[in-house]
Amino acid sequence: MDDIETTTNAIHSRVDNIEKLHRNEVKILLELEKQLQKENLRINKIDNYQQKQQNQIGDIESKQQVYEDDLNSLKQQRTTHKQFMDGFEKDWMSVLNKVEKLGNQRLVGQYSIVELVKMRQEERRRISNLEKQRKNYQQELVRIKKQQKRNQQCINKIEIFEKLNNRISNISKQRKNDEFRIALTEKNLRYEQSKIAALRKELKRNQLGIVELQKRRFSTKYAIADLENQNNLIQFRIAELMEQREKYKFRLNTLENSQGKQLPLFQPNGEGLPHYGNYKSVILKGNGNRDGSTKRGNKTFAFHAVLTKAISKPRRFSVIQYDDVVTNIGGAYNPISGVFTCSVKGAYVFGWTALVSEEYLCTELMINDKIVGTAFSGGKGISDASVSGSSVIVVKLEVGDRVWIRINELFPSVDILSRATQFSGFKIW
């Protein structure tokens, strides 16, 4: 029995550990699922952002090509304008030199005044045209500078988009790493699920083993109780047979003495009588009863047992095992099973008490699976108080009848307190 209880406790502790592991695994799985959902949302955001960036990069590349073409054409125009300005400055300098020479030398004799006037007018027109061209070239330079500024802005945007491309490539690498981590997490999740399935199978096997061990334990307890009851009956029968044997020997000795024969086997005072185990032969003085025989069936039976361990929330129809035996005359009460077994028919008195704390409890006296008596204990609504319920009943029993106290199906969720919960009984005739 101790080995079975030890094995049962070990299995219970193992089952508790498995349940704790199972709860921890479930928490880990829930956390992994939340992380996986967050990673999926993050990946979707990255995909959308990457798609937008790719579209913007395409637009920027097309604009960059246009800007490059414009920049090349502007560079060519600038070169042409520069060459033109160089030629214009040379012509202007030559004109100024000629004017200066004409002014200094006063070539009046060589050229006529009309020709000089015409030449001067032509030079003025030429100078005005050159001034207009110069203004146009200056305006063109201003426009070119503005275009260069815009091109520089485009170049800055292109650099920004190159940085974005680098960032997108880094995000792509990070995404690959995240996908690898997700795959690894899914693999670990499948592994944990397989472990949980294995633990559930093991838990189921352990539960079946616990049920089987409990069945074996109850069957063993009942078998032990039956064996003890049979042993008590056998011992009682042996005592009766030894008593009859001594009675017949005494009568034989008395008859032989009355005939004048002296047999020194047994003395009237009982000396020389043999011992059989724990049972001593008894000499009846005189003839015993009036008819010369002993009274069969008048052996004394009385017991009183107390509950030493409180019972918390007992099961319905469970037997209360009063384990501390104060009195057990006749040995008919078994503290292991909590059952009284009748070995001599007659009338018996049984009484029992159940003490509960702040709840209701109904107990029943059973005789061979039949309800014979009921006791009700109630303490609900009474703060810091314990209330007991008792009952006494007189019944007639036959040999082999079994008597015990069990929990009723009503109000099972209660605590039964110890010491004040008792079970007693005795034979009256």
CB 348 within 8 A of CB 342: yes
Please state, in angstroms and rounded to a whole number, the distance separating the CA atoms of residues 424 and 375: 14
Residue range 274-284: mean pLDDT, rounded: 34
Please state, in angstroms and rounded to a whole number, the distance separating the CA atoms of residues 195 and 22: 9
Please state, in angstroms and rounded to a whole number, the distance separating the CA atoms of residues 74 and 137: 13
Same domain for 39 and 184: yes
Same domain for 345 and 205: no
- Kindly report the average pLDDT of the chain as a whole number: 77
Please state, in angstroms and rounded to a whole number, the distance separating the CA atoms of residues 14 and 29: 22
Same domain for 331 and 201: no
Question: Does some domain include residue 161?
Answer: yes
Question: Does some domain include residue 256?
Answer: no
Domain span including residue 407: 297-429
Same domain for 163 and 33: yes
| Exposure class string for 296-325: b at 16+ Cβ within 10 A, else e | eeebebbbbbbbeeebeebeeeebbbbeee
Tokens standing for residue 119: 């030449």
Same domain for 303 and 197: no
Asked which of 165, 189, 210 is the last residue of a domain, the reply is 210
Counted domains in the chain: 2
Residue 148: predicted pLDDT: 82
Same domain for 138 and 31: yes
Please state, in angstroms and rounded to a whole number, the distance separating the CA atoms of residues 340 and 303: 9
Question: Does some domain include residue 237?
Answer: no
Residue 216: predicted pLDDT: 80
Question: Does some domain include residue 74?
Answer: yes
Percent over 70 (pLDDT), the chain: 80
Question: Does some domain include residue 242?
Answer: no
Residue 29: predicted pLDDT: 76
Same domain for 172 and 313: no
| Exposure class string for 75-109: b at 16+ Cβ within 10 A, else e | eeeeeebeeeeeeeeeeeeeeeeeeeebeeeeeee
Banded pLDDT at 422 (limits 50, 70, 90): very high
Asked which of 189, 210, 231 is the last residue of a domain, the reply is 210
**In Å, what is the CA distance from 410 to each residue of 9, 309, 369, 394, 413?**
29, 22, 18, 25, 9
CB 393 within 8 A of CB 365: yes
Banded pLDDT at 344 (limits 50, 70, 90): very high
Question: Does some domain include residue 284?
Answer: no
Of these ranges, 53-57, 340-344, 417-421, the one predicted with the greatest mean pLDDT is 340-344
Banded pLDDT at 173 (limits 50, 70, 90): confident
Question: Does some domain include residue 268?
Answer: no
Please list, in sequence order, all residues whose beta carbon lies within 8 angstroms of the beta carbon of residue 429, skipping any fewer than 6 positions away.
Answer: 298, 346, 347
Residue range 54-61: mean pLDDT, rounded: 76
Asked which of 181, 210, 239 is the last residue of a domain, the reply is 210
Same domain for 197 and 302: no
Question: Does some domain include residue 98?
Answer: yes
What's 350's domain CATH number? 2.60.120.40
- Using alpha carbons, select from 338, 305, 298 the residue that is nearest to residue 427: 298
Same domain for 127 and 24: yes
* Phi, psi for residue 139 in degrees, rounded to 5: -60, -40
